[in-house]
Amino acid sequence: MAEKEYRIPQHVAIILDGNGRWAKKRLMPRNMGHVQGAKTVEQICEDADSLGIKYLTVYAFSTENWSRPESEVGAIMKLLRNYLRDCIKRANSNNMKVRVIGERSRLSDDIRQKIDELEKASENNTGLNFTIALNYGSRDEIKRAVTEIASECADGKIKPEDITEQMISEHLDTRGIPDPDLLIRTSGEERLSNYLLWQLAYTEFYFTDVLWPDFNKEELKKAIEKYNGRERRYGGVIE
Ligand code: IPE
Ligand code: IPE
Ligand code: MG
């Protein structure tokens, strides 16, 4: 694919899935799939940037993922600590601005501190806007936004009839980030699993059987190629 010939989506959102199955296929513990999956995330940030994508948002841990066995959750959190630490260095060498969305109070203090450091250290970077969804659930995000708006109403700062779609968007964790143009989910599953329900209203979806640890630049290009064949109508008609 000649990169210049294609319309590059401004914002790509990814549901990275299939780490466990990748490991199982190799008779390895599930955690090895997460280790490899984290490496794929690092590489795909560079690939997305080199293709001209401006925003990349990945689903790393959902509000539902706490229901996994304690040993797996513990292993993911350990991996996350290392990942966040390395990410500070990489963000600065790659000029990447990193942001974390999701509910933070359930994360441990040291992880929260690393997130703050990472966001602060990379806030002035002007390259790829990389967003990590951690303890993220779209319904939880919407619930938190509704609570904030309701208390602004109760305090008399706004009236219920003044609530706009824009105001709702601005109360979500993704405030300031344009809605995704393309959503990719790996591993053959075709569902949203509580990811960006509001933001994906008009996003094009691409599903692939490739397991996340095997996902690479070629696969990303295939998704972009497919996206280029789609006609986005936003409810209107194309003459
Ligand atoms: C995605 O891979 C990573 C997380 C949800 C943390 P999975 O761990 O869901 O892998 P499968 O779906 O079991 O193969
Ligand atoms: C979605 O994957 C969550 C993340 C990628 C972090 P899951 O593997 O948890 O989703 P389900 O359980 O198949 O819907
Ligand atoms: Mg899964």
Domains of the chain, by residue range, sit at: 9-137+179-228
Q: Does residue 44 carry a pLDDT above 80?
A: yes
Q: Does residue 4 carry a pLDDT above 60?
A: no
What phi and psi, each to the nearest 5 degrees, are found at residue 206?
-135, 120
Mean pLDDT of the chain: 97
Q: Does residue 232 carry a pLDDT above 90?
A: no
Cβ atoms < 10 Å from Cβ of 48:
24
What is the CATH code of the structural domain delimited by 9-137+179-228? Answer: 3.40.1180.10
Q: Does residue 109 carry a pLDDT above 80?
A: yes
* pLDDT at 5 (0 to 100): 79
Nearest to 52, CA basis, from 89, 3, 92: 3
Using pLDDT thresholds of 50, 70 and 90, give the confidence band for residue 2: low
Looking at residue 192, the DSSP 8-state letter turns out to be -
In sequence order, the 6+-apart residues with CB closer than 8 A to the CB of 28 are: none
Counting ligand 2 atoms within 8 A of each CB, the residue from 63, 189, 193 with the most, and so the one to mutate, is: 193
Task: Compute, in angstroms, the gap from residue 189 CA to the centroid of ligand 3.
Answer: 8
Average confidence (pLDDT) over 169-188: 98
Q: Does residue 1 carry a pLDDT above 90?
A: no
Average confidence (pLDDT) over 83-110: 97
pLDDT tens readout for residues 213-228: 999 999 999 999 999 9
Sheet architecture: strand order including 182-185: 97-101, 129-136, 55-62, 11-15, 182-185, 204-207
Using pLDDT thresholds of 50, 70 and 90, give the confidence band for residue 75: very high
Is residue 62 within 6 Å of ligand 2 at its C-beta?
Answer: yes
Average confidence (pLDDT) over 85-96: 96
Residue closest by Cα to atom 6 of ligand 1: 61
Is residue 17 within 6 Å of ligand 2 at its C-beta?
Answer: yes
Using pLDDT thresholds of 50, 70 and 90, give the confidence band for residue 56: very high
SS3 229: coil
pTM value is: 0.96
Ligand at shortest distance from the CA of 137: 2
* pLDDT at 239 (0 to 100): 77
pLDDT tens readout for residues 195-213: 999 999 999 999 999 999 9
* pLDDT at 20 (0 to 100): 98
Is residue 16 within 6 Å of ligand 2 at its C-beta?
Answer: yes
Q: CA 100 → CA 11, 87, 104, 131, 219, distances in Å?
A: 16, 12, 9, 5, 25
Counting ligand 1 atoms within 8 A of each CB, the residue from 19, 135, 212 with the most, and so the one to mutate, is: 19
pLDDT tens readout for residues 16-33: 999 999 999 999 999 999
* pLDDT at 238 (0 to 100): 81
Measured from the Cα of 22, ligand 1's closest atom is 14
Ligand at shortest distance from the CA of 20: 1
SS3 98: strand
Which residues belong to the active site?
17, 65
Average confidence (pLDDT) over 72-84: 98
Ligand at shortest distance from the CA of 58: 2
